[in-house]
Structure 1
Amino acid sequence: MLIHPWDAPHEDTEWQTWPAAHDFGRLAVNGPPGEPPAVQPLRFAYDAGRAEVVAHLARPNPLWAALQADPQVLLSVVDDYVYVPGPWQPAPGTPAEHGVPTSFYAAVQLRCTAHVVDDPAEKADLLNRRLGHFQPAGGSAPATPGGPPYGRMLPGIRGLRLEVTGVRAKFTYAGHKPEEVQERIASAPARRRGPRDSAAREHLLRRRHS
């Protein structure tokens, strides 16, 4: 992933807080010799304090063999993306029709070492950490080995801890454009009101003033 200086995080907390609210990504795992990488859609919980991701998958998932053969993986998350029409982007004094279209997006790639979790107590702890992330208000019984309602389901899954060993992040939101152009772009999503326009506008404004 190419990261221009103007797209790089302004500080570590910028990328560290983002995956907590964008917790669905794609886990890329090296395939066996002669085969392409395997890519698994993954709902996860990111723990910045421990620098790790926790998740689980069904025991029959074919990904396990690849993970055990090579535990070095990449978790990729892309969101807050919008299409930016050319007329939003022309340089000052340039006709609107000469503007070049682009896309805005945020992306975080976590390079990780995968650890497979099979111990029932450790799996229950992992599930409870996930429940604490996705259901912080509660409403579900805790997972306990052998106890209701999840105990009988534990043998059917395997836990996954992803130890984060490297990070690449970018927030591409017109950071290299003149202030006049940034102001023009910032006003446009508020009028269009398309999916993710509000989030993209917030990124642009936040990064202008940070």
Structure 2
Amino acid sequence: MLVHPWDASLDEAEWRAWIAEGHDFGQLIVNGADGRPPVVVPTHFTCHGDHLLVHLARPNPVWTAIEHDPNVTFTVIGDYAYIPGTWRAKAGTPPSDGVPTSYYSTVQFTCRADIVDDPETKAELLRRQMAHFQPDGEHAPIAVDQPPYGRMLAGIRGLHLQVADVVAKFKYDDQKPVEHRAAVAEALAGRDQGLDTATANQQRRRLDRIGPWNA
């Protein structure tokens, strides 16, 4: 992934905060076995220390690929929007001379995958995930010897994804003048389609932290 200096995460806390804001759904990407295409699995995940926690159905074809090569990538994308060229034209030039682009945030984790088959370890993985996704409770105990989860554990496998590297990118034209970025954020909020408002919020947040870009 290309990351220009102005697109890079300002610090580790920035991408961690972005993930913690609810960006907890991504794609697990595993090298295909025997020259086959990569296997890509969309899934929720939970951060736990330097691990990502995932569980998937036992029939999922990803297991063969992981057993062949446990080195995987997990990617999360959000707060994205199409930016028309007319919004990006330089001051004093015709709007039609502007070149369109995409804005987005993404965090890519390089990991080593450890498959979890032990029932109690799977139950603990699910308890951690449930504490994140359903913190108010209102679910049956997740225990190997109690229904409904106990009898369902055999149908899933867990993954501990040991994070080896993280690359984060926040692509919001931070190299452009302050006035330009503020105007695009305003245009996004006015269009208000899809993730426009979330994208505008990210651009404004970065603008507040960075101010004028200083190479």
TM tier, smaller: over 0.9
4+ aligned runs moved over 4 Å, structure 1: none
What does residue 62 of structure 1 align with? 61
What does residue 116 of structure 1 align with? 115
What does residue 32 of structure 1 align with? 33
CA distance in 1, matches of 2:36, 2:147: 41
Q: 3-state DSSP class of the match of 1:170? A: strand
Are residues 1:168 and 2:167 paired? yes
Amino acid at match of 2:197: S
Q: Deviations over 1:37-96 (max 9, x none)?
A: 11111111123xx11111111111121121112110000111111011111111111121
TM-score (norm 2): 0.93
* Contact 2:188–2:200 (CA under 8 A) maintained in structure 1: yes
What does residue 213 of structure 2 align with? none
Residue 197 (structure 1) shift = 0.9
CA distance in 2, matches of 1:209, 1:110: 27
Q: Deviations over 1:177-197 (max 9, x none)?
A: 111211211110121111111
Identity %, equivalent residues: 50
1:117-136 alignment to 2 at 5 Å? 117-136=116-135
* Contact 1:92–1:180 (CA under 8 A) maintained in structure 2: no
Are residues 1:45 and 2:28 paired? no
* Contact 1:90–1:181 (CA under 8 A) maintained in structure 2: no
Q: 3-state DSSP class of the match of 1:74? A: strand
What does residue 9 of structure 1 align with? 9
Backbone CA RMSD of aligned residues: 1.0
Residue 19 (structure 1) shift = 2.3
Residue 145 (structure 1) shift = 0.4
Amino acid at match of 1:25: G
Gaps of 5+ in 1: none
What does residue 99 of structure 1 align with? 98
Are residues 1:184 and 2:168 paired? no
* Contact 2:52–2:163 (CA under 8 A) maintained in structure 1: yes
Amino acid at match of 2:45: F
What does residue 139 of structure 1 align with? 138
CA distance in 1, matches of 2:190, 2:61: 46
Q: 3-state DSSP class of the match of 2:104? A: strand
Gaps of 5+ in 2: 210-215
CA distance in 1, matches of 2:189, 2:38: 39
Residue 17 (structure 1) shift = 2.2
What does residue 198 of structure 1 align with? 197
